[in-house]
A = this chain, B = another copy of it.
Amino acid sequence: MQLLNPIDQIFLRLERRNQPMHVGGLQLFSLPAGAGPDYVRDLVARAREFDDVTPPFNRRLKYRFGQPFWVDDVSFDLEYHVRHLALPRPGAIRDLLALVSMLHGALLDRSRPMWEVYVIEGVVDDRFAIYSKFHHSMMDGISAMRILRRSLQDAPDARSMRVPWQLPATESEDAARRAGPLTDAWRTLQATTRQIAALPRAGQEIVHAWHDARSDDDFTSIAQAPASLLNCRVSGSRRFAAQSYSLTRIKRIAKAFDATVNDIVLAMCASALRAYLLEQNDLPDRPLVAMLPVSLHDDDSGTGNRVAMIFSSLATHIADPVERLAAIQRSVNHWKRRYRDMSPEQIMAFIAALSTPAGLNLLTGLAPRHQSFNVVISNVPGPRETLYFGDAEMQGMYPVSIVLDGQALNISLASYRDSLEFGLIACRRSLPSMQHLLTYLDDALDELEPADDAVAGDSVHGS
């Protein structure tokens, strides 16, 4: 019996029927050569044999004295959590995305451990898919992706299959135990920041907190985000869209503009959002503002990465794609410079200010008066090498994040091998035909492509 920490409690309190607070991931696999017609059914049966379920997967909520606790589920029912579905033939990707949209819109059962894994057979071109969902009070999106990653192997081997709900302890968990409490503090802050990154309308309040932590007035003046379709009340219905892009191609474009991969990603999103909002007759005069959690520098030592939030203009008021990219770069670099000027203690103080319960209550957007950003764009670095679930090769791995009142769209990316995997989740009612964004993302890359070579590297298309 363990009391939920204040942050995790907030994810319970934030949840409403139009605003489920779970995160997910969609993984696409090739059937191994010679897989029989019962391959997926057998795989589900074998996965269900892993019934020695480890925390947090065996824990359910229980309220005592009005407080939420985690308790072991004595009626744990693995068959309920691990489900076997199929696509109608011929198993088009648009049908897969429609199914994930439907599944992601449904609330988890609070009487049980709040996670579900769906193994989906019949995806076109001899593939199958796994869609997983986890309540945000149980883990954040990045942890969810990390756990999915850990259930995969470096080499195909049917007999050494691993499943998310029964993983061995990792080396880094072992390392963290050895490194002691200081490391733990860093890890907690880092996790907190990542969680906050998913919260709505956080910007304005973050700036207030920031103001307490820093005395540089100029720094607090981020632009008020304009009103847009992206920032209305949401319905309970979702649309998920996913697409892969060649990282090689994006890197080549980045190099041509002396930009980072992240700059190009932002430029793609900016261009796509501009085109979509023009199509919907709703492009604001002022530029859209994106909130992005970023790694300030890579540091694989025990102290972990430093993660911060950047509020970048998407320069959607600029018609020319190259000028738009330049404006985005300036905006991002401004924030990066500011972060670099801060001492670790200042960053620590800033992040700590956000992680108090009072600060988090503000961050939840319970009474926000200001729209400080229009959309979250989150980029999670992922594995470069090919991974396998049992003997099935993973082709792609797309994050499925959270939509909130005031944040009708979330764009999350994960990298895998030579791909950047975009997962877009939106309120299906607020953002009609949101899947058009995929076409506009394509167009955006084409616009920035150096004239001499154009490469098509897409492997998944929209619903």
Contacts and interface: CB of A to CB of B under 8 A. Distances in A.
A95 B84 contact: yes
Contacts of A428: 77, 80
A235 B114 CA distance: 12
A102 B83 contact: yes
Interface in A90-118: 95, 98-99, 102, 105-107, 109-112
A81 to B, nearest CB: 10
Interface residues of A, number: 35
A106 B106 contact: yes
A83 B99 CA distance: 9
Interface string A102-146: 100111011110000000011000000000000000000000000
Contact of A237 (B40, B80, B99): B80
A432 interface: yes
A34 interface: no
B112 A237 contact: yes
A163 interface: no
A111 to B, nearest CB: 3
A429 B112 contact: yes
Contacts of A17: 17, 107, 110
A183 interface: no
A106 B104 CA distance: 11
A88 interface: yes
Given A41-B88, A77-B428, A80-B428, 20 more contacts: A37-B89, A38-B89, A75-B432, A83-B98, A83-B102, A85-B88, A86-B87, A86-B89, A86-B122, A88-B121, A88-B122, A105-B109, A107-B236, A109-B235, A110-B236, A111-B236, A111-B429, A112-B235, A112-B237, A112-B429
25 contacts: A17-B17, A18-B110, A40-B88, A41-B88, A75-B429, A75-B432, A77-B428, A77-B429, A80-B237, A80-B428, A83-B98, A84-B88, A84-B95, A85-B88, A85-B99, A86-B86, A86-B87, A86-B89, A89-B122, A106-B106, A109-B235, A109-B236, A109-B237, A109-B429, A111-B237
Interface of A: 17-18, 37-38, 40-41, 75, 77, 80, 83-89, 95, 98-99, 102, 105-107, 109-112, 121-122, 235-237, 428-429, 432
